[in-house]
Amino acid sequence: MTPIRSGTVLAARREDVEFDTVDGLTLVGELALPVDVAPVATLICLHPLPTHGGFMDSHVLRKAAARLPALADLAVLRFNTRGTSSPRGTSEGEYDGGTAERFDVAAAVSFARGRGLPVPWLLGWSFGTELALKHGPDEQVEGAVLLSPPLHRTSRDELARWHGSGRPLVVLVPELDDYLRPDAAREAFSIVPEATLIAVEGGKHLWVGEPQVRRVLDEVVAAVNPSRSPLPVEVPEELLVAGS
């Protein structure tokens, strides 16, 4: 058995993808699927703020795609929102502060459903949580997992739409977050009493370091495919992608 480290990449079927928004833009991304089995659920990843370095390869989302198809039988769809670049390429359009990005969220959900991917969940991180909260209620998704929600762009009315929606909302709030810490988060999310709020001791907004990444991925899997939680810390060597 080989320990899972920061740079570990596990076997998956990986495919570069593109899909179009209803306002005429082409977005670029990657779909990662389990090798030998059908996925049991799907993560549609919404990345941090592109004007501050966020993109589809932001490290927690990249590691979710690197590990979770093999460890948790999940499909992982990552993509660059409008105007965002990564080594995969640049999505057309321009950043719009979370407003026109509603078309990006809709296009990603439509792509996942068109590919027959099961049980789609939104996985938002920082700015991505704003997209999930603002636009998720309009989409056919199972629920949402939020990492470090700043609540800078989500109105109280938008947040309240999740109450009574029947869609799980799992909120990971770092104890040492730069923008929204657990006590303030509990007050803000009190209008969605069914939300599950998890305060992460010692956590920071960017989830830097393998222990924080492992905690995040464990909580994501506990929400989306609890039968595979907690995740292993070692894997057979044959699961490793060469060079990782």
Average pLDDT (99-125) is 98
CA separation for the pair 193, 110 (Å, rounded): 29
DSSP state of 50: G
pLDDT at 243: 76
Phi, psi of 104 (to 5 degrees): -70, -45
Residue 193 neighbours by CB under 8 Å, 6+ apart: 163
Task: Give the domain CATH number at 117.
Answer: 3.40.50.1820
**Is the pLDDT reported for residue 112 higher than 80?**
yes
pLDDT mean across residues, the chain: 97
**Is the pLDDT reported for residue 152 higher than 90?**
yes
Decide if 240 is inside a domain: no
Q: Phi/psi class of residue 70: alpha, beta or left (left: φ > 0; alpha: ψ in -120 to 50)?
A: alpha
Decide if 10 is inside a domain: yes
Decide if 244 is inside a domain: no
Q: Note the pTM of the prediction, 2 decimals.
A: 0.98
42 vs 8, 105, 122, 214, CA distance in Å?
Answer: 21, 14, 8, 19
Task: Give the pLDDT band (50/70/90) at residue 242.
Answer: confident
Q: How buried is residue 35: exposed, middle or buried, by Cβ count under 10 Å (0-12/13-18/19+)? A: exposed
pLDDT at 103: 98
Structural domain that includes position 163: 2-229
pLDDT at 150: 98
**Is the pLDDT reported for residue 244 higher than 90?**
no
Decide if 182 is inside a domain: yes
pLDDT at 176: 98
Q: How buried is residue 61: exposed, middle or buried, by Cβ count under 10 Å (0-12/13-18/19+)? A: buried
Decide if 195 is inside a domain: yes
Task: Count how many residues are written for the chain.
Answer: 244
145 vs 91, 171, 172, 242, CA distance in Å?
Answer: 24, 6, 8, 31
pLDDT digits (tens, 9 = 90+) for 175-233: 999 999 999 999 999 999 999 999 999 999 999 999 999 999 999 999 999 999 999 99
Decide if 25 is inside a domain: yes
Q: What domain count does the chain have?
A: 1
Decide if 242 is inside a domain: no
Decide if 234 is inside a domain: no
